[in-house]
Amino acid sequence: MKNNIVKMAQEAKKASRILAHLSSQKKEEVLLLMAHLIKENGEKIREENERDLKEAKEKKLSPALIDRLTLSNSRISKISISLREIAQMEDPIGKIEKMGRRPNGLLIGKMTVPLGVIGIIYEARPNVTADAAALCLKSGNSVILRGGSEALNSNIALTDLLQEALYQSDLPQASIQLIRTTDHQTVMEMLKLNEYIDVIIPRGGEGLIRTVTENSTIPVIKHYQGVCHIYVDSNANLRMAEEICFNAKVQRPGVCNAMETLLVNEKIAGEFLPLMIKRFTEAGVEIRGDEMSQRIVPEITLASEEDWYTEYLDLILSLKVVRGIEEAIEHINHYGSGHSDAIVTESYSQAGKFLNEVDSAAVYVNASTRFTDGGEFGLGAEIGISTQKLHARGPMGAAELTSRKFIIFGQGQTRK
């Protein structure tokens, strides 16, 4: 297996040199063909996905995880639509910026270039296979994909179609490769191939991120856990707050931009929490609250210190009553993961304070955290949501999969 992963990386490196110089028109044609093949082969994709779902149910995986794994007709259609959107977006490669002339006459600027070979290690969601591959192709990068074992059949079906589009377009199939084994040792070997792979992007739970970060000799862009918060301010429109909070927790609890902790100002907690918790409870949400929230709604479970750090990815919610915005911001910056956090308020000054002081990749005023998504942000799709500050932050589209190189025009200058 070691020789296989090395060979994959070597071939990916060769392919990346071809992709780096593809015309915008060629990229668009290939991506549109990929979208067409996925749309036309929806039944085959669903059949393979059903195999994964059957195994997941036999293993008694959580309903939220099974939801993330499911490729319904509508989700397959969305994958195809997403590829079309990426195809028609502006090409991020070859852009020249910040051209300026130095006193010695040299004209110096920067040009956007691909990163090279990208390794992506991810869990559960098979749509990532198509999204990541498309974004890498759009940005002139080759990619080695390693999805979770629970989605292996779905990932193989999608990758086969993507590679068929490459074949029909006379492009190397090594431009998009999938590691078709669940052997963890393969991942460990992959993380040491810094001679061929330029960056690793892990996308999944805390355990995966830690394993990749601790073992990789290749630079890592972390898609860390989403411990997302919503703070309901004393100046909030409570009806709006109820709708936003319900959507952020219940609409799709198994994804990283779902709310995990609700913070409520003590001035409106007595009015807001009984109705909000009743609605959550009716939707099957387990509430784990602090002592103050227990006094208001006694039937909820007492939260532990660990709860404040936890990304549940399930119908479980932590709840805390806070004295004001300062305590809310302090709680978010201490316990949060730097992913997505929101305030619900009618106060312009409170909104501004929250935007300025919450240290997260996406900070909202009066909107659900569920919008932190490449498609929703106009990126077509995302390769992940970076929760670190280098080299990208937040949803990563094609533009975030590029680097810069200096370009210099001279007229015979020599340095003295």
| Structure tokens given for 119 | 């390794």
Q: Domain for residue 415, yes or no? A: no
Average pLDDT value for the chain: 95
The reported pLDDT for the residue numbered 3 is 52
Same domain assignment for residues 290 and 164: no
Same domain assignment for residues 188 and 318: no
pLDDT-derived band at 188, boundaries 50, 70, 90? very high
Q: Which amino acid is at 97?
A: E
Neighbours of 409 (CB within 10 A): 12
Q: How many domains does the chain have?
A: 2
Block residue for tokens 């305590």: 327
Same domain assignment for residues 134 and 259: no
Same domain assignment for residues 193 and 285: no
Block residue for tokens 């009743």: 278
Q: Which residues contact 145 (CB under 8 A, 6 or more apart)?
A: 120, 122, 129, 132, 133, 155, 159, 176, 177, 178, 179
| Position 132 pLDDT exceeds 50 | yes
CA distances from 151 to 71, 122, 130 (A): 10, 10, 13
Same domain assignment for residues 321 and 175: no
Q: What is the CATH number of the domain that holds 247?
A: 3.40.309.10
Question: Mean pLDDT lowest for which of 60-64, 125-129, 293-297, 337-341?
Answer: 60-64
Q: Domain for residue 390, yes or no? A: no
The reported pLDDT for the residue numbered 292 is 97
Q: How far apart are the first and last CA of the chain?
A: 54
Backbone angles phi, psi at 302, to 5 degrees: -75, 130
Same domain assignment for residues 190 and 299: no
The reported pLDDT for the residue numbered 9 is 98
Same domain assignment for residues 168 and 271: no
| Position 251 pLDDT exceeds 90 | yes
Report pLDDT digits (tens) over 269-305.
999 999 999 999 999 999 999 999 999 999 999 999 9
pLDDT-derived band at 384, boundaries 50, 70, 90? confident
Same domain assignment for residues 165 and 262: no
Tell me the pTM: 0.89
Same domain assignment for residues 208 and 234: no
Report pLDDT digits (tens) over 193-227.
999 999 999 988 788 899 999 999 999 998 878 99
Q: What is the CATH number of the domain that holds 70?
A: 3.40.605.10
Same domain assignment for residues 297 and 266: yes
Domain that holds residue 75: 2-221+396-409
